[in-house]
Chains A and B, each alone.
Chain A
Amino acid sequence: MSTEVVERPPQAPPGPPDAAPPATGRMRPAVIADSAGGMWGWLLQRVTAVVLIVGLLTHIVATHIFNIGHLSYLNIGDRLGSTFFVVIDVSLLAAAIFHGLNGARMVVLDYWLKGRAGRRALSITLWVFGSAVFGYGLWALWPWISH
């Protein structure tokens, strides 16, 4: 079996974001370059995915299994009194906002905004919006964190 990879025709539409790499067992840079979102979006989406898997597991189990039926303002304060949960929740806030907005961006880019200027405008808008939401989330958590 030849391991040579035949180039895609340039006008070919980008594959779905979860398109599997070829069966060589090694990453093909072209797969990343072909995806509409760019290399950094691709990489950060995967880094935040790992943060979310570890963080959300901790967050959901601590909040909804160990504290099932006990959720209240003070119950949240019990957890956010420890540095561990502050680190978990604040990194979750940042990772979830990035991962969610970048995912939404990938959906948009699959159907619209084929031009460079439009894509750039979308990225800048989402960075401004995401930063504002992160600031707002931090502001909302602050009474618990600073207590």
Chain B
Amino acid sequence: MSPVDAGAATNVGAGNWKGLGMWAWLLFRVAGIVLVVYLFAHIGVISTARLGGRSTLNSAFDLFDHPLFVLLDLLLVWAVLFHALNGVRILLMDCGLGIHRHKLVFGACMAVAVISLGFFAFKAFAYIAAHHAGGLGGLI
């Protein structure tokens, strides 16, 4: 089948890539749903400042300081980075940029996501180590 044949829009570069693209699509969707849920939770938490006064919000921040919540934050950063960088790939494809090198574009986007995640992970673990006696041992 030629690349511009029927159904080409959903079948560019079928083969091994089709499997990888499927996983990218699924993870993109799962991360998106996680982020929508987080968005409403985030608005709810921030609004406690007005609902219950500033001390209510500050005690929520004290809770989020726990290593477990810092690790959950890291999971959230993973969802944001994967969703954002896969989204950049989609935007580029929509603009017709890099379609002939779409595997390279995907690889580059994921490389940026992994490097950024590494930066945030370093910050998160350094914070836990510096501010919590016993570091991650405090989780147990």
**Chain B binds chain A:** yes
A residues near B, CB below 8 A? 1-8, 12, 15-28, 31, 46, 49-50, 52-53, 56, 60, 64-65, 68-69, 71-74, 76, 93, 96-97, 100-101, 103-104, 107, 133, 136-137, 139-143
Contact A137 B43 (CB under 8 A): yes
B54: nearest residue on chain A (CB-CB)?
Answer: A73
Interface 1/0 per residue, B84-102 and A, CB below 8 Å: 1011101101111001101
Contact A8 B6 (CB under 8 A): yes
B residues near A, CB below 8 A? 2-10, 12, 24-25, 28-29, 32-33, 35-36, 39-40, 43, 46-47, 49-51, 54, 57-58, 61, 64-65, 73, 77, 80, 84, 86-88, 90-91, 93-96, 99-100, 102, 123, 127, 131
Contact B50 A72 (CB under 8 A): no
Cβ-neighbour of A5 out of B4, B40, B51 (below 8 A): B4
Question: What's the Cα separation between A62 and B96 when bound, in Å?
Answer: 33
A23 and B94 in contact (CB under 8 A), knowing A5-B4, A96-B39? no
Chain B facing A: main interface SS: helix
Contact A20 B9 (CB under 8 A): yes
Cβ-neighbour of B4 out of A24, A49, A71 (below 8 A): A24
Contact B2 A1 (CB under 8 A): yes
A-B contact pairs, 19 of them (CB 8 A): A6-B6, A7-B6, A12-B7, A16-B10, A16-B25, A20-B10, A20-B12, A21-B99, A25-B96, A25-B99, A27-B95, A46-B94, A60-B80, A73-B54, A74-B54, A103-B36, A107-B33, A139-B47, A142-B50
